[in-house]
């Protein structure tokens, strides 16, 4: 079974609109962390936001927020007021456990977001 | 400026040759990682190192080797045993093993086998 599933290969959004990128995960570990990264066409991965499994509130970072629904095992990224510069590939990733395994991340296959005028 | 550098940006190799990809960081991070990215796929972990002189295999280590002789450096060698080495390779680092530490990535090296 896939540990991280991103079902939207591509998304379009109009400038200034909000967009939600879906991510579901699968783990039996009670301690885990969820990350979202942005990858522009240049290739570099840019960290956006983090949510810990024990965090009581949804994470927010500027225009980025994470809609964390633990029971549904989903961690959707919400980008508000989209900008042209948001056009990129977006990856959801998970880190399981706190000890022994290091800080290894498992990535989804990504969602290509295109912001249009 | 603190960050991660990878060189070269583009690399071409003939079949049967070994090639080494460089990764250097000046962030004073303990942990370093190598990922491979193929078109239409996410990143897959090749090797990681949590401390100098120690490293572990990731999910797709076959055909690759690494060393960690210095904290700042984590070179990756793609050997001739790697059957399909053409890919985009990303190096990353993080402060340590804690789960809330995000990984910082370098700009990547695109390897093409001719």
CA pseudo-torsion sign A86, B105, B16, B64: negative
Residues of B in contact with A45 (CB under 8 A): 43, 90, 92, 103, 105
Q: What is the pLDDT of residue B69?
A: 97
Q: Are A110 and A25 in contact (CB under 8 A)?
A: no
What is the percent of chain A where pLDDT is above 70?
Answer: 94
Q: Is the peptide bond before A106 cis (omega within 30 degrees of 0)?
A: no
- pLDDT, tens digit, 9 for 90 and up, residues A68-87: 999 999 999 999 999 999 99
pLDDT of residue A99: 53
- Residue B101: the pLDDT is 79
Per the structure block, which two tokens stand in for A111? 């969602």
Question: Of A96, A95, A93, which Cα lies nearest the Cα of A110?
Answer: A93
B44/A35 touch (CB, cutoff 8 Å), yes or no = no
With H, G, I as helix, E, B as strand and everything else as coil, classify residue B68: coil
Report d(CA A16, CA B7) in Å as an integer. Answer: 37
pLDDT tens figures, A104-117: 899 999 999 999 99
- Hey, of A103, A109, A110, which one would you mutate to test binding to chain B, going by the most B CBs within 10 A of its CB? A103
Q: How far apart are CA A25 and CA A114, in angstroms?
A: 24
Chain B residues touching chain A at CB-CB below 8 Å = 31, 33, 35, 40-45, 48, 50, 56, 58, 88, 90, 92, 94, 96-108, 110
**What's the confidence (pLDDT) of residue A39?**
97
Chain segment A47-75, per-residue pLDDT in tens: 999 999 999 999 999 999 999 999 999 99
Backbone torsions φ then ψ of B77, nearest 5 degrees? -105, 125
Residue of A nearest to B51 (CA): A102
Q: Does A103 touch chain B (CB under 8 A)?
A: yes
Q: Which of A39, A61, A62 is nearest to B40 (CA)?
A: A39
Decide if A52 and B107 are in contact by the 8 Å CB cutoff: no
Peptide bond into B97 cis (omega under 30): no
Q: Is B21 exposed, middle or buried (0-12, 13-18, 19+ CB in 10 A)?
A: buried
Task: Round to whole Å and give the CA distance between A12 and A115.
Answer: 6
CB atoms within 10 A of CB A22: 17
């Amino acid at each position: 079974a896939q540990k991280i599933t991103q079902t939207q290969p591509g998304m379009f959004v109009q400038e200034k609109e909000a967009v939600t990128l879906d991510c579901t995960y699968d783990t039996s570990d009670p301690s885990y962390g969820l990350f979202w990264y942005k990858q522009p066409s240049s290739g570099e991965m840019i960290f956006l936001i983090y949510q810990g499994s024990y965090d009581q509130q949804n994470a927010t970072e500027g225009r980025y927020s994470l809609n964390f629904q633990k029971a549904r095992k989903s961690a959707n990224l919400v980008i508000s007021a989209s900008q042209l510069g948001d056009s990129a590939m977006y990856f959801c990733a998970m880190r399981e456990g706190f000890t022994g395994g290091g800080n290894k991340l498992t990535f989804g296959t990504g969602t290509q977001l295109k912001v249009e005028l | 400026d603190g960050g991660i550098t990878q060189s070269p940006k583009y690399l071409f190799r003939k079949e049967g040759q070994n090639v080494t990809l460089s990764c250097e960081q000046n962030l004073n991070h303990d942990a370093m990682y190598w990922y491979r990215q193929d078109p239409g796929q996410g990143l897959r972990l090749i090797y990681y190192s949590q401390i100098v002189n120690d490293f572990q295999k990731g999910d797709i280590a076959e055909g690759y080797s690494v060393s960690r002789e210095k904290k700042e450096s984590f070179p990756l060698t793609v050997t001739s045993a790697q059957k399909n080495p053409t890919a985009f390779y990303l190096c990353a680092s993080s402060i340590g093993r804690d789960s809330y530490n995000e990984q910082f990535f370098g700009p990547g090296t695109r390897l093409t086998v001719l």
